[in-house]
A and B are shown apart, each in its own frame.
Chain A
Amino acid sequence: MKTKIFPIFLIFIFSIIFFVFYKGLQNTNVYTPTIKSEIKIPNFDAKEFFSKDKINSDQIFIGSDYYLLNIWASWCVPCKEEHKYLMDLSKKENIKIIGQNYKDNFENAKNFLINLDNPYDLIFLDNDGTIAIEWGAYGVPETFLIQNNKIIKKIIGPLNEKLLFEIKELTQ
């Protein structure tokens, strides 16, 4: 009896292992940890996109208005996809859209805005990507909804219909 149980048990264990690994094959294995939301926005110095004047984050995010910080670059393909949603949001009066130009070439970035239109109320430069780290960002595109100097919502990756709707709901 004992000798019969053992092979059955072994087969059972292996089939479970096979099942788990097989399932795991289909999962994306990029792990993004959940981070406590409502964290305070960082303080940083940056250069304005067009004038190259130095600005501090205190001068950008003022009062209790809604701000949408969008990290973008002209070389980033998903940024082009989400651009129409940003244009849509730029029509809303109570949100100010702030662009953070991430590791970009100035001429390319300018052409990007000329070709696709400019949804941003203000753009600042992040040439070495360190300001993105201050935000706790992973790459481009990434979007933060900010109110009262706090991050209300963080979106990794491009915007879509559903997220656009969510942002509109939050800023009602």
Chain B
Amino acid sequence: MNILKFLVSVIFLIYCFSSDLKAKNLEIEITKNLRCLICQGQSVYDSDSEFANSLKILVEKKLNEGLDEKQIYAYLKNKYGDWILYDPGFSKNTYFLWLLPILMFIFGGAIILRKVILKKKKL
């Protein structure tokens, strides 16, 4: 009977610990995707500034309140604008940002294709 009790408590402890770890991991992931607005080139996770530390506490609070990752991003975007996210969403302000690489790819491809066709014609 004692062994059973012991086993149950061990499993319970492992369960608690792992779920706690999962929450911590999500918190780390979120703060890594947030830009520390008053630092230069650092994420909130990497920074130890007052601003970043408050944000870390806030993310933890919001997770405890039951908000998911996307809701937290939306919440912070509403407060600070797109700039706080390292991965800004597709909106009318970011069309250019998202489409530029594709345009460059197509344009470059077109140049290469033209050259290849011209070379073939010459041959």
Binds B, one of A24-32, A45-53, A61-69, A112-120: A24-32
Q: Does any Cβ of A come within 8 Å of B107's Cβ?
A: no
| CB neighbours of B57 from chain A (8 A) | 128-130
Contact with A along B25-42 (1 / 0, CB 8 A): 000000000000110100
Q: Does any Cβ of A come within 8 Å of B7's Cβ?
A: no
Contact with B along A15-54 (1 / 0, CB 8 A): 0000000000000011111110000000000000000000
Which of these, B54, B61, B81, B83, contacts A132 with CB under 8 Å? Answer: B54
A31 to B37, CA, bound (A): 8
Contact with B along A115-148 (1 / 0, CB 8 A): 0000000000000111011111011000000000
Q: Does any Cβ of A come within 8 Å of B19's Cβ?
A: no
A129 to B83, CA, bound (A): 20
Contact B40 A33 (CB under 8 A): no
Contact with A along B48-72 (1 / 0, CB 8 A): 0011011101100100000000000
| CB neighbours of B80 from chain A (8 A) | 33, 35, 136
> What is the number of residues of chain B that contact chain A, defined by CB distance less than 8 Å?
16
Q: Does any Cβ of B come within 8 Å of A103's Cβ?
A: yes
Decide: A31 near B83, CB < 8 A? Known: A103-B50, A138-B37, A138-B38: yes
| CB neighbours of A35 from chain B (8 A) | 80-81
Which of these, B37, B54, B82, contacts A130 with CB under 8 Å? Answer: B54
Nearest CB in chain B to that of A103: its residue: B50
Contact B58 A133 (CB under 8 A): yes
Nearest chain A CB to B85 CB, angstrom units = 11
Contact with B along A86-107 (1 / 0, CB 8 A): 0000000000000000010000
| CB neighbours of A34 from chain B (8 A) | 81
| CB neighbours of A135 from chain B (8 A) | 79
- Name the prevailing secondary structure of the A interface residues: loop
Decide: A130 near B83, CB < 8 A? Known: A30-B38, A139-B38: no
| CB neighbours of B40 from chain A (8 A) | 29-30
| CB neighbours of A130 from chain B (8 A) | 54, 57-58, 61
| CB neighbours of B38 from chain A (8 A) | 30, 138-139
Nearest chain B CB to A30 CB, angstrom units = 7
Which of these, A30, A31, A33, A128, contacts B54 with CB under 8 Å? Answer: A128
| CB neighbours of B81 from chain A (8 A) | 33-35
Other A-B contacts than A138-B37, A139-B38, A139-B50, 15 sampled, CB-CB below 8 A, are: A29-B40, A30-B40, A31-B83, A33-B80, A128-B54, A128-B57, A130-B58, A133-B58, A133-B79, A134-B79, A135-B79, A136-B79, A136-B80, A138-B38, A139-B51
**A to B CB contacts below 8 Å, 18 in the list:** A30-B38, A31-B83, A32-B37, A33-B80, A33-B81, A33-B82, A35-B80, A129-B50, A129-B54, A129-B57, A130-B54, A130-B57, A130-B61, A133-B58, A138-B37, A138-B51, A139-B38, A139-B51
